Amino acid sequence: MNAARETPPPAVFVRYWAAAAISSFGTAVTTVAMPVLVVQLLGASAFEVGMVNAAQFIPYALLGVIAGVYTDRWRRRPILVWASVGRALSLGAIPVLWLCGILEVWMLVAALLLFGSFSVFGFAAAQSLLPRLVARGDLLRANVRLDQTDAAAQTMGPSIGGGLVGLLGAPIALIVDAVSYLVDAALNATLRVDEERQGERPRGVGAEIREGLAWTYRHPTLGPLTLSTHVWFIANGAAMTVLSLLALRELGFSPFTFGLLLTVFGVASLIGASCAAVITTRVGAGRAIIGARAMYPVAWLLVAVAPAAPGGTVALFVALMLQGLAMGTENSPEQMLWQTLTPDRLLGRTNATRRAGNRTLAACGALVAGGAAGLVGERPALVGIAVIFAVAAAIAAFSPLRVSENRSPGPEEERRPPG
């Protein structure tokens, strides 16, 4: 059983944490550089912006559940290492193509499709490896530390990214993210962790996929959480697409101002992540998630009215602050619920399955939002986005999630499928 496994020394988690921090800072730079590259340098249409945003998510639909099966079959550390190397190479191809003077939108889409394919395996392995690095009772704290670091990257990274984009140009700034993935791979390659596989021999891929799907969608607590999160990703994929168009085109933000907007989001995320453990301990993981999800519709209604409001820019900054607080607060309890209620032998499949659904729906949201913004304008599209966020919150609120507790499954629960 998993309980017989020795917990690695704290230094192992610290190395894993450092790797995650470095790649998070690189990603924060790309968060500024990519929209500037697509919208301002390549002059993409609204639909093309949606297509670029969708590209890195599409591989989750094609590979997600398969990646989960092999993440449960293979050792997770090597998967994590090689996925980071692949992401570095695919992202690094973009500035090379730009310097050669041949970069076009379709080439960017192709590079991001490759990037997303490596990410499918990387994220499944990363989320499934963490319970091997810390004791289950420490998972909430470990997830909080990771979220705080990611939020700190979102705080400082966009400002740095905006400065780098202004100084070097958006394509060259992407090199920072590519290098961060190489450092991430080097650090994770040195992890020493017990990954011996115990229990049943692998069955057919189809049977293992069905087992992962059953746990993900039929579990009384995790099933509604999955559905709510799927709807949330539709809204968020749409929201990020329309936000870049609104800020960079209608409001005329410079790369630095756009980076500052994302910095405010990062500061709020850091505050939310820092409060997540206290909130979760006091009200429970389910209520913490529900409360956070109720904040998103308010935030995006503020974004919708920002262009017409006298202090529109201020309203936009306040909205992104609310978004950051909500995301920072809810992520740690959500990850902790999945990692404590799911047995280790299923973690790869459940992580990959729900991420496949999340990212696929985010891609759909991005594509639909790009088309909707072009047809009806950004503000009506944003009102629709706020409604979808409200639906996600309602699904969570009217489910067993509101009474979920912070606990690990017993031996009988680990063996028994849900439903």
Q: Which pLDDT score is estimated for 8? A: 55
Beta-carbon contacts of 46 under 8 Å, excluding residues fewer than 6 positions away, are 245, 370, 371, 373, 374
Residue 200 has pLDDT above 70, yes or no: no
Q: Which domain holds residue 178?
A: 8-189+217-404
Question: What total number of domains does the chain contain?
Answer: 1
Q: Residue 101 falls within a domain, yes or no?
A: yes
Domain harbouring 333, CATH code? 1.20.1250.20
Q: Residue 409 falls within a domain, yes or no?
A: no
Residue 412 has pLDDT above 60, yes or no: no
pLDDT band of residue 411 (cuts 50, 70, 90) is very low
286 touches 77 (CB < 8 A):
no
Burial label for 278, CB within 10 Å (0-12, 13-18, 19+), is exposed
Q: What count of other Cβ atoms lies within 10 Å of the Cβ of residue 192?
A: 10
pLDDT band of residue 281 (cuts 50, 70, 90) is confident
Q: Residue 153 falls within a domain, yes or no?
A: yes
The per-residue DSSP string of 22-65 comes to HHHHHHHHHHHHHHIIIIIIS---HHHHHHHHHHTTHHHHHHHH
Q: Residue 1 falls within a domain, yes or no?
A: no
Which has the closest alpha carbon to 259: 37, 32, 33? 32
349 touches 215 (CB < 8 A):
yes
Neighbour-count burial for 137-147, b at 16+ CB within 10 Å, e otherwise: eebbebbbbbb
Q: Which pLDDT score is estimated for 1? A: 36
Q: Which pLDDT score is estimated for 234? A: 92
Q: Which pLDDT score is estimated for 309? A: 62
Distance, in Å, from the CA atom of 246 to the CA atom of 315, rounded to the nearest integer, reads: 13
pLDDT band of residue 209 (cuts 50, 70, 90) is confident
Distance, in Å, from the CA atom of 232 to the CA atom of 393, rounded to the nearest integer, reads: 8
Residue 167 has pLDDT above 90, yes or no: no
Q: pLDDT tens-digit profile of 82-92?
A: 999 999 999 99
Q: Which pLDDT score is estimated for 404? A: 61
Mean pLDDT of the chain: 81
Q: Which pLDDT score is estimated for 356? A: 82
Q: Residue 211 falls within a domain, yes or no?
A: no
pLDDT band of residue 392 (cuts 50, 70, 90) is very high
Q: Which pLDDT score is estimated for 196? A: 64
Beta-carbon contacts of 198 under 8 Å, excluding residues fewer than 6 positions away, are none
Reduced to 3 states (helix: H, G, I; strand: E, B; else coil), residue 6 is coil
Distance, in Å, from the CA atom of 147 to the CA atom of 272, rounded to the nearest integer, reads: 9
Q: Residue 416 falls within a domain, yes or no?
A: no
Q: Which pLDDT score is estimated for 68? A: 82
Q: Residue 419 falls within a domain, yes or no?
A: no
Q: Residue 204 falls within a domain, yes or no?
A: no
